[in-house]
Structure 1
Amino acid sequence: MINEKIDAMVEKYAELLTGDTSEESIEEIKLYILYNHIAKSMPALAKHWNAVYPEGKDDMKKIVADIQRKNKVLREEKKDT
């Protein structure tokens, strides 16, 4: 089934990006991927969504900040080894 294959790819992406493959982290990664794709391919839609759902925009900012923090920690750990 394609869903299982996509799930495996997303899990690997989460591992490579953040070093965290917990269910919560994978769900954050899925939201990040979807939002990022929409923002790049249809910026007007993302802008509209941000205006209609400012709390959603704030939640996405928190998710992105969390992913960036985890990525920074992972890169620093790899640099030290």
Structure 2
Amino acid sequence: MPDNQTFSPEFQALLEKFTELLTGEATPERVQMVTIWCLYSHMAKVMPPLIQHWGSEPEHQQAKAEIKRIFEQIKQWNQEKNAKNTPPNIVQ
């Protein structure tokens, strides 16, 4: 197990920087949403049957809808950030 006194703050800083680069800013809410997005995306890639089973259970429908909302929000933030950073087309 990593030394939590050094690992946790360093890993938190990595999450914050990743969130900032992905969405344009690293608020606590965005960091939490990006953390959920990362973990769920990874689980869906390495254990698709688990995610499919979990998502098919009636008691998980609200959580599944919330995850979908998180994915859509992160996508929107990323598109907005990319639109701001895209230089205008210069016609000569």
TM-score, L = length of structure 1: 0.94
| 1:61 CA displacement | 0.5
Residue identity over aligned pairs, in percent, reads 30
| 1:79 CA displacement | 0.4
Aligned equivalent of 2:48: 43
Alignment deviations for residues 59-81 of structure 1 (CA, whole Å, 9 cap, x no partner): 00000000000000000000047
Q: Structure 2: 5+ residue runs without aligned partners?
A: 1-5
Aligned partner of 2:30 among 8, 21, 25: 25
Aligned amino acid, residue 76 of structure 2? R
Q: Structure 1: 5+ residue runs without aligned partners?
A: none
Cα distance in 2 between the residues matched to 1:3 and 1:51 = 34
Give the total of aligned pairs: 81
- RMSD between aligned alpha carbons? 1.1
Between structure 1 and structure 2, the one with the greater Rg is 2
Aligned partner of 1:65 among 63, 66, 72: 72
SS in 1 for 2:18: helix
Aligned equivalent of 1:56: 63
TM-score, L = length of structure 2: 0.83
- Greater share of helix residues, 1 or 2? 1
Aligned amino acid, residue 23 of structure 2? T
Q: Report runs of 4+ in structure 1 exceeding 6 Å deviation.
A: none
| 1:5 CA displacement | 1.3
Aligned equivalent of 2:39: 34
| 1:6 CA displacement | 1.1
